[in-house]
A = this chain, B = another copy of it.
Amino acid sequence: MRNSVPLLGAFLLAGAAAALEVAEAAASRTRATPHPDLIDDLVAANRILADQGVVDGFGHVSVRHGADPGRFLLARSMAPGLVSAGDILEFDLDGNAFEPRGRALYVERFIHSEIYKAHPDIRAVVHSHSPSIIPFGITNVPLRPIYHMSSFLGAGVPIFEIREAGGPATDMLIRDPGLGAAVACKLGGAAVVLMRGHGNVVVGQSIEQVVFRAIYTEINAKLQAEALRLGQGEVAFLNAEEAANATATNNLVLGRPWELWKQRAFRPR
């Protein structure tokens, strides 16, 4: 059910340029230098998600390595709004960092590693505590697409209850591969999974797409809650075909808001 988009040119370029390095890395467990454009886009994603209010001091965004699908890129443990290229680390699908050089890692990196392991078609992951989405994770009201921009929600939005996989006394965090695998399983073929009392995870097939989805999931949540109150529960949602068709269309124009968001995230202030 996940929508297919062409591989970004950056991925292909990175693939060509980094092939030799990947082979070496596999032998020596050193870092396989990804294409600089991919790192730049990941830094931009961090800054955009902070600027747009999806993440605050917490939350993270990752991308699968362009040349080696068994690796992904993620910042060291820090606020996304402060991430620069030098903060990006490379991880394997068990959540181990290559060349961490003593830098602290996100406890919840297993959200990313297990999703990449379970879902080969997913190329980018955002975890956040995006505010308007929190109430949908702690009530019984399904998050559904109210307009075409958030049509990717039409595939359904499951809720992950950590008590099922981790028992009644966790600290709520996805702090090991087992919990990460449970999140990846609950996600299934959806674009978004909510985490009760915690936040949500959004997935996509490119950095641009996952950022687009994270931002419009937040907006949909805010406006859906408003519409339910205004209409006293009576709201017209997109139907399944409208949702699928709008998603295919949106995938062709992901670059349009990306340029705006990037310009705003990096503007001098």
> Residues of A at under 8 Å CB distance from B?
50, 56-58, 77-79, 81-82, 107, 129, 131-132, 134-136, 138-141, 145-149, 151, 168-173, 196-199, 219, 222-223, 225-231, 234-239, 241-242, 245-246, 248-249, 253, 256-261, 263-264, 267-269
Contacts and interface: CB of A to CB of B under 8 A. Distances in A.
Contacts of A257: 56-58, 79
B227 A226 contact: no
A49 to B, nearest CB: 12
Contact of A79 (B58, B242, B256): B256
Given A134-B227, A139-B230, A238 B197 contact: yes
Given A146-B138, A237-B138, A261 B230 contact: no
A115 to B, nearest CB: 20
A24 to B, nearest CB: 34
Given A149-B129, A225-B230, A229-B229, A172 B256 contact: no
Given A138-B146, A140-B231, 4 more contacts: A57-B258, A58-B253, A79-B259, A170-B242
A56 B268 CA distance: 20
24 contacts: A50-B260, A56-B260, A58-B253, A77-B253, A79-B256, A79-B259, A81-B264, A82-B260, A107-B249, A131-B219, A135-B226, A138-B146, A138-B227, A138-B231, A139-B227, A139-B230, A148-B197, A168-B239, A171-B245, A197-B236, A197-B237, A197-B238, A228-B230, A268-B269
B256 A139 contact: no
A239 B229 CA distance: 25
A103 to B, nearest CB: 13
Contacts of A58: 149, 253, 256-257
